[in-house]
Structure 1
Amino acid sequence: MRITPHAQDTGGFFVALIEKVVESDFDGSAANGPAWKKKKMFKDEPFTFLKLDDERWRDIHNHYGVDETFQYQNLFSRRLESNDANSRQLFYANDAVKNFVKENMAKVSIQNAGMKMFSRTEGKVENTRFRLSQEGIRYLFKFMNKQKVKIGAEDMLYMLKSEENLVPLEKLECKTDVRKNQNGTVVVYCDEDEPVCTWVGYHTIAPYISKEERLHLLRMMGVDCAEIELLMKSKRKEKAAQDREAAWQRKLEEEKTAGQPSTSSDGAPTEQISESPAENIQEMADAEPAQ
């Protein structure tokens, strides 16, 4: 069964139901392998869950007004317990995932679990050590009582469609309500089901979301994103062409430094017609006799 998480045909998740039809005498001892191989195996980063009255939770709770009913002990980092206080990211897992991880962490290789909810910041503007992540805001939002503002659809559209990374607050109708909050991460929303993490400075606001998330939100608001998608694709193609050109130039510089001409796959020297593939094609076209 294939489950597509969105309307785009760019991949998806596959779920298979495996049914045991025959009993086996396999005891699993052979699968463990010899001890010398175990020592060479890659060791996964541990899952370290927050303990009761963790100081990081107090910081988050006070700044964002997170309700006491939020299960903060389900937050975890991917650091050793001895160095857990310096972790840069905090993830969240429900009770079922938490129990599975704690019971099987030493038995099963678990690469990823949960969703990213907080990222540590060293900014001097913010009054907390952690900013919110768009990945986990849809779940956390209902527990928040601070640092969130309801705005009009026109302001939301302006921010999402703006080509400016930092949108001046003076251009928004919601500027007064936004400024009532502390600088740093502020969640804005038209619909409580689609909150958006933003970074608010002294005079500007910036949606703290990816381009794909921005397109998704615009579609949910009924905006035709065909032109925006085309622009994004053209920018990606342009960047890819620039990267190829830069790689070609680096190769030429290395060959000049080494004093060796380019060679073909059979080892024979090749004639260097010009400085780039695009120029080679143009020169060959100019050299063809007119019909």
Structure 2
Amino acid sequence: IRILPHVHDTGAFFVALLEKVSPLPGEKIYKEKDAEEREAGESGSETQRVRQPPKKKQRTGFKEEPYFYFEKDEPIWPGISQFYDMNPEVDPTHFLSRTNDGKKRNLYFTNKLVKDVVTLNQDHIKIINTGVKVLVRSDNKGADCDFRLAQEGSQVLLPLFKKRKISITRDDMVTMLLNDDMCEPPEIEKMDTKTQEQCENLESGSLAFTHKREDGVEITLVGWKGAKSVRGYVAKHDRIHYLRLLNADTSKYEKNKYQEQRDLLQKNGSIDDNNENSNEILAENGTTKNDDLENGNITEVKENEIKNNENVDNEDNGNGNGDRNGNDHEMEINKQTG
């Protein structure tokens, strides 16, 4: 039967009835006893006995690490709660991570309803991702807490703690958003006096910077406060978004990839000269390689790779063996004059 054929006969739907006439090659056959044998109750039978195929075992484990919620006596919770001055009603059992024994790197947060769904279905449902990332491990000797704030969970966690957040001006926030150089972070003494006063009594560590526009829209950035400078931990696309909300220039982050590569090559020459100073600044601002990857910073180009590229270009242009060609030319002149 042909149903709804195409006008130009280029395709159509078909319905067909297939009847099995014989077993497939290699198919196991299960024969039943004849009716007469069943009635007579004879024990003998010509039935071919075939062992039933083994039942498939239900999978009980997952390749992905499961989620583990905090207990009431979680060892790392008192340090976090004291550093950020968490509200007393915040339940630590709503925080979770993907490891139970080792070092916890990322901490997530859920409400009670999501927690019940996760805990009651951990052995039956394969959970790939859940919760909002609110804290990230950032081991630094200059800070009292090993966990810093995460930008994506700032809107969730910010109402839950009292300390480690300050209000800054629009110009200061624009300065932090435009400065993505980890070697030269914005200095506190160059910021507004109100910002300096708020940072003066705060120890080094993670910090939330907030600014409220005239229309009431509040913008929050998470970052790090060092001894003399501050730095924002914001990804590139978020920086562009917040700069547009502040009516600021975004041309710095909207370059094409070729222009970014040229700027990086020019900047690479001055990086090696300031390695020692850069390392001190990175330590002060709590920066790690993982933080740079998360914030979308561009990886530095090695100087050796640049030199190799220059040598390849010279060989392609016929300049790779300039000294040798020159010496050969002098030898030919000497032979002629001799």
TM-score above 0.5: yes
The AA in structure 2 aligned to 1:48 is F
Would you say 1:90 and 2:90 are equivalent positions? no
- How far did residue 224 of structure 1 move? 4.1
Runs of 4+ in structure 1 off by over 6 angstroms are none
Q: Deviations over 1:197-232 (max 9, x none)?
A: 11111111100111111111111112242x223336
Corresponding residue of 1:104: 121
Corresponding residue of 1:124: 141
Query: Structure 1: which 5+ runs fail to align?
Result: 1-32, 251-273, 284-291
Contact 2:177 2:232 in 1 (8 A): yes
Q: Deviations over 1:149-171 (max 9, x none)?
A: 11111111122123543111111
Task: Give the one of 206, 231, 234 matched to 1:209.
Answer: 234
- How far did residue 143 of structure 1 move? 1.7
The AA in structure 2 aligned to 1:179 is E
Separation of aligned partners in 2, 1:163 and 1:140: 24
Corresponding residue of 1:223: 248
RMSD: 3.1
- How many aligned residue pairs are there? 217
Matches within 5 A, 1:20-35: 34-35=56-57
Separation of aligned partners in 2, 1:96 and 1:233: 44
Task: Give the one of 152, 157, 168 matched to 1:151.
Answer: 168
Contact 1:147 1:182 in 2 (8 A): no
Separation of aligned partners in 1, 2:136 and 2:73: 19
Would you say 1:171 and 2:193 are equivalent positions? no
The 1:89/1:222 distance shift into structure 2, 3 A limit, reads same
Query: Structure 2: which 5+ runs fail to align?
Result: 1-54, 265-297, 319-338
- How far did residue 95 of structure 1 move? 2.1
Corresponding residue of 2:83: 63
Separation of aligned partners in 1, 2:258 and 2:155: 31
Corresponding residue of 2:221: 196
In the superposition, the TM-score normalised over structure 2's length comes to 0.57
Separation of aligned partners in 2, 1:72 and 1:134: 20
Contact 2:108 2:134 in 1 (8 A): yes
In the superposition, the TM-score normalised over structure 1's length comes to 0.65
Would you say 1:46 and 2:66 are equivalent positions? yes
Separation of aligned partners in 1, 2:181 and 2:239: 13
Please give the secondary structure, in 1, of the residue aligned with 2:90: coil
Contact 2:69 2:97 in 1 (8 A): yes
Identity of aligned residues (%): 24
The AA in structure 1 aligned to 2:244 is R
